[in-house]
Structure formats: structure tokens, C-alpha cells
Structure 1
Amino acid sequence: MRLSILQSQPHTIKRWPRMDASFHRRKDKVVVIMGATGSGKSRLSIDLATLFPFSEIINSDKMQVYRGLDITTNKIPHAQRRGVPHHLLGDVDPEHGEFTPADFRHRAGDLIEDISSRRNLPIVVGGSNSFVHALLVENFDPHFNVFHNEGLISSELRYRCCFLWVDIAFPVLSQYLRDRVDDMLHSGMVQELAHFFHPDPPSPTALGLRKAIGVPEFDRFFNKYPPSMGLGLGLWDRDRDRAYREAVRAIKDNTCDLAHRQIGKIQRLKRAGWELRRIDATEAFRLVLTSGSHVWETQVLEPSVKIVKRFLME
């Protein structure tokens, strides 16, 4: 059974009406959902967009912006989007070169302006903190990566932001991520990567999507055992089976490493004065891992709704 924290829908929480014109006094208001990969950010964004009508979601995951590799990059299936408009989710052609934080600032900034002009609520969601930082800070230097340096991170933002940080105790998150990789493999990830594989080194302008976790790990496997040799596990010899399991283990390890780095960046933003409201989703995920049930509504969604409601009514 797929380990998805995206499946159930809220039933008991009131839907809030569209905000009046005062909603856009001064700077535009933006809800920003942050958290490590696999922490339920997408689920929360759709839940909130359903409960606060006229919301639109802007993806801020640097791999999900590209078209292709929907399973590998874990894009939300259309059936789970509940009709909520999504932007920059699979919109960028990977052949047009790498989509940079500066590109995201420009494109997402235009989207926020458009969404806000229609008195709708922009919800920015994704795990790429370099994209979030680039979009939100008042003064952005595209030549300086604040996460690679010890310089101060600015807390002067160009929007009025409501930050929700979905956080999970790392041992629980790590186990969930490892199980999720197995789920993605069962959903056709290897076949997707086999179709994407090309034996020639990629050009510098095509590196963006090729950085997605899963691509380099299986590129090494396919260079040794090309997809033309077949993907039937039952037909493999011991060496090929060992190489496959090494690729899978590398994906799991690299995914957990990514989550750890993302949490570190979020903590740096919080220390810099960003007003991040932490939502503890540990118990909801722990129950997903142990019994398939969860307490998502009471421990994650309801506190988030209260925070967003107060923000919008200010």
C-alpha cells in the first residue's frame, strides 16, 4: 500500500470565505509552507487551499518545477490536487537550461502579483529553501548563496508572510522517507528512469532535472546494465541485483541527507528572524508508519488553519 500522507481529506474544519479588499493593504499577503522533503507540505497546502477558497499554489521545489520524472520527483498526481490551481509544477522545459533561484524570484513574483490582483491567496510550498529565500527577501543578490556562507540572512521581506514549518522528528521522517522510496519504486520509478536515461554525458544546459535524486544513482546502474538488457528482477544475476540494491540504498541515503540539510537551512532562517510557526507532524507520521491511521487533522491541519485565519484577518 502506498505510504502517502496526501490521501485523506479534511471533513470537520470550516471553510473560510474569500477575503475582502482590505486583504491586500500594503504588501501582498502570502502563505509559505516549509519543511523537509516528505514532510507533508503538499498535503497541507491542498488542505488549506480547499478550506480557504480562491487559494492558488505556487510550487517552490527546484526539481518539481521541471517537466518530466513525475514519480522520481514525487509530483502530486492531478487526482490529489482537488481542483486547486498549481503553478510552476512541471511547467519548465528541462531542455531550456537550469531554472535558477533568480528565475524563480522573477516567475513566482509575477504569479504572486497576478494571484493577489484577483484577490486570491498565494500559497508557496516546497522544500527548496534557496528558492524561497530568493523569492521573499527584499534585496536579493543572485551571485551570493547565503546558505553556502556564514553571512547574515536578511529578515526584510517583500511580502507579508505567514510561515508554516511542518517539522517531524528526524528518526521518524528518515524511516518514512526510506519507505517512500520503496513505494516510488513499486509505482514505476525504475521504468521512468530507464526511459530518461541517456548514455552520453548531459550538456551543461541540461543539468537541472538530472540533479534529481534517483537520476545519478540509476545512471551509474544503467551505464553498467543498460535498460536494453531488461528490467525483470527475477532474471538478474547476483552482481546485477547487488548493483540495483546499491542504487536504491544510495537514493534512500541521499534523500535523508537532503532532508537533514533542508532542516538546517530552515533553522538558519528562523535564527535570522523569519517568523516561522512550527507545526509538529511527528505523531501523524509515526501512526502512518505503524498502523496506517493518523492524527493529521488535529495536530497539523487545525493549528495551521488557526494561524492562517489570524494572518488573513490582521
Structure 2
Amino acid sequence: MRRLSDIFTKSHHFPRKKHHTSLISLSFSKNPSSRRAHMTTHAATPAITTAIRRRKKIVVIMGATGCGKSKLSVDLASRFFPASEIINSDKIQVYRGLDATTNKIPLHERKNVRHHLLGEFDSSDSHPEFTPSDFRSSASSVISQIHSRRSVPFIVGGSNSFIYALLSKKFNPESDVFSESNWGEDSVFCKEQRYSCCFLWVDVSLPVLNEYLVKRVDDMLESGMFEELAKYFENPASDSVSECGLKKAIGVPEFEKYFKRFKSIDDEERSMAYEEAVRAIKDNTCQLAKRQVGKILRLRDAAGWDLKRVDATEAVRAAMDCGGRKVANIWEKQVAEPSMKIVKRFLME
């Protein structure tokens, strides 16, 4: 892996950066302890298959950015494989491109689980925004296809506006139920759902999550985000007046000033502009996590969604402090096992 400090040293003459432990995707050990090995299964049981056919059920995994949603979804889906497929519900990850910047789960971490609506749409001036209504239509179609295969759809992502648009029986695209003007109005939510849903809320203490997110930004930059953004801003399409689509991805607006002024500023100014952009990315990522948690609480308290909370705080803390088997064991015991029991109980009902 090329370090960002090496990129700067060779091409921009910036000071070397401190190396950070890899934190991008909560990549724990792939070999959990043998006493939990019995949890892994590669096919749905006949009883579960019957339940899937009888009632069109879906599993929804929610949580703030960086909490481990993608890892949990693949863990669960691979253990029910081939009776599970994942539908991405992140409003930025639906777009093609900027895979490192938008932190899409890489192919080698998907464990052969089929993913839908992940990097499938182009962001252009002719169709700059993939809206909640677009998601409702596209995801509904995919859910029908998955159910026709007697498989379980897992809806996974941090865009709660997309999730609400998909699941609400009556959805008004003209009304943003999460806007500040509606913050105290519970009546704006439609409390009836279109599907039989199991909601898993992967929660992490905000102070711990913020610390993790700050370190994750450094790791993302060292793992190709900076080079990816440099190439993005070389494309004339980056000059589009539209502020939608990929241009809303955290990292793009923060680094725009840096790359647009790159040839007109000296090394010292360039270094300061870089540090300013990185600080803004970290701040905005933490603010995003806070907003996401606020919306989840609104869905629980105002919309009445029955969210099954799973606490991943210790797993995230351990991922920053240590690694290897200890982290994997914590994840299995405190996140994967409780989630597995919840999903199996739901599917058997």
C-alpha cells in the first residue's frame, strides 16, 4: 500500500505524515473462535425458506457511518447464503466512481454475497440526483426479484431518508419528514410499513465513534482517497455547476479548493490548504454521524419503528486499540451473535 506521506514526499514536498493503523472497514480476523464456528451456515434451513415464501420479509441494518453496518450485513448474509442479498441504501454509494472516497465495501470483503444499487448509477447534469423516490422505485423492484428467488433482502446503509421512503406505505416525495421544520411533528411520519421488517440498529457511543472516524479519514487518505480525488478533479465534469450526486460526497467539496488552486499556490500554502481540507472532512464526517443517529431516534420515537439495538462500541474501541483475534471475538460475541439470533427469530415467525 502506498502511503500518503510517500506521495507528498515524492510529488508535493509536504512533511511526512504519521502512519495510522488500518481502520477503513472494521476488518477483523476472518477466523472466529471454534466455539462460534457453528454459527456459520451456507444455506437457509427448510423452515426459514418456508417462512420467506409465506411472508415477504426484509432485514434492515441501520446505523451511523463507520459503525460496522457493511461488515455485519455481509457476516449475516454470508451465513444465510444463498438465501440473502444486500441492497445498498447509502445515497452517495449508489453512484459509480470515487469508491475509496465514498468508502464502498470492496469486492474481496463481500464474501460472494450479491449486492444491489451499489455504484450502479452515473451522476451527471442530465440526472444529477438519485432521489428518495428513485430509491423507493428501484429498491422495490430489486426486493421483488429477491423474494421471487425465495431469498432474504438485507437493506443496508446510512441514508435514513432512503430507508423511510422505501418502507413507508404512504410516501410523500414533497415532504422531508426529517427537516428541522418537522422536527417536533410526529404526525408527518407514515407509521404503516410496506413490508414485514426486522430492524437492526448498530449503535456506537458517539465519543468512541468520533475517535474512530477521525482515524478512519487518515487511513482512507493513505489508502488511495487523495489520488482518487486528484484524478476526479482532473476530469472536466468536476467543473459542473450541479451540487448533486458525487459532488455531495464528503471529501469532494472539502478538497475542491485545494485541487482547483493547486498550480497557483506555493508549497506552504498548499500544505495549509491540505490540512484545512482534512480537518473539514473529519469534522463533517462526525457531524454526519450525529445527524444520522438523530434521524434513527426519530424513526424509533416518532415513527414507532421497532429497532433492535446492537451495541458495537466495544468492538469499535478494540479495533482502534488492538486487533486480531481479540477484536474478532468481541465482534462475534457482542454484535454478530445477538444480530444472528434476532434475524433467525424474525425469519422463523
TM-score, length of structure 2 as denominator length: 0.84
Provide the residue aligned with 2:309 in structure 1.
278
1:248: Cα distance to partner?
0.2
Classify the secondary structure of the residue corresponding to 1:278.
Answer: strand
Whether the 8 Å CA contact 1:10–1:297 is kept in 2: the answer is no
CA distance in 1, matches of 2:51, 2:106: 35
CA distance in 1, matches of 2:288, 2:40: 36
Provide the residue aligned with 1:232 in structure 2.
none
Matched, 1:216 2:246: no
Provide the residue aligned with 2:27 in structure 1.
6
1:237: Cα distance to partner?
2.4
CA distance in 2, matches of 1:22, 1:259: 35
The number of equivalent residue pairs is 305
| Cα RMSD, aligned residues only | 1.7
Matched, 1:165 2:196: no
CA distance in 2, matches of 1:127, 1:119: 26
Matched, 1:17 2:44: yes
1:242: Cα distance to partner?
1.1
Provide the residue aligned with 1:233 in structure 2.
none
CA distance in 2, matches of 1:100, 1:280: 31
CA distance in 1, matches of 2:282, 2:96: 23
Classify the secondary structure of the residue corresponding to 1:247.
Answer: helix
Classify the secondary structure of the residue corresponding to 1:43.
Answer: helix
TM-score, length of structure 1 as denominator length: 0.93
What CA deviation, in whole Å up to 9, does each residue of 1:186-235 have, x standing for no partner?
Answer: 0111111111115774243x721100000000001112214x99xxxxxx
Query: Any stretches of 5+ residues in structure 2 without a counterpart?
Result: 1-20
Whether the 8 Å CA contact 1:176–1:289 is kept in 2: the answer is yes
Whether the 8 Å CA contact 1:162–1:308 is kept in 2: the answer is yes
Whether the 8 Å CA contact 1:34–1:127 is kept in 2: the answer is yes
1:7: Cα distance to partner?
4.2
Q: Output the amino acid matched with 1:52.
A: F
**Given the alignment, which residue of 59, 77, 87 partners 1:58?**
87
**Given the alignment, which residue of 263, 266, 284 partners 1:254?**
284
Classify the secondary structure of the residue corresponding to 2:178.
Answer: helix
Matched, 1:29 2:50: no
Whether the 8 Å CA contact 2:171–2:190 is kept in 1: the answer is no
CA distance in 2, matches of 1:262, 1:270: 12
Classify the secondary structure of the residue corresponding to 2:191.
Answer: coil
1:20: Cα distance to partner?
2.6
Provide the residue aligned with 2:191 in structure 1.
155
TM-aligned CA distance change 1:22 to 1:309, over 3 Å: closer
Q: Output the amino acid matched with 1:17.
A: A
Whether the 8 Å CA contact 2:74–2:111 is kept in 1: the answer is yes
Matched, 1:308 2:337: no
Q: Output the amino acid matched with 1:127.
A: G
CA distance in 2, matches of 1:183, 1:87: 26
CA distance in 2, matches of 1:290, 1:114: 42
Query: Any stretches of 5+ residues in structure 1 without a counterpart?
Result: 230-235
**Given the alignment, which residue of 126, 132, 135 partners 2:163?**
132
1:10: Cα distance to partner?
6.0
Classify the secondary structure of the residue corresponding to 1:103.
Answer: helix
CA distance in 1, matches of 2:101, 2:86: 21
Whether the 8 Å CA contact 1:177–1:255 is kept in 2: the answer is yes
| Equivalence map 1:110-259=2 (5 Å) | 110-148=141-179, 149-150=182-183, 151-152=185-186, 153-197=189-233, 201-204=239-242, 207-226=244-263, 237-259=267-289
Identity %: 57
Whether the 8 Å CA contact 1:166–1:280 is kept in 2: the answer is yes
Q: Output the amino acid matched with 2:240.
A: P
CA distance in 1, matches of 2:60, 2:31: 20
CA distance in 2, matches of 1:32, 1:88: 15
Whether the 8 Å CA contact 1:45–1:57 is kept in 2: the answer is yes
Classify the secondary structure of the residue corresponding to 1:259.
Answer: helix
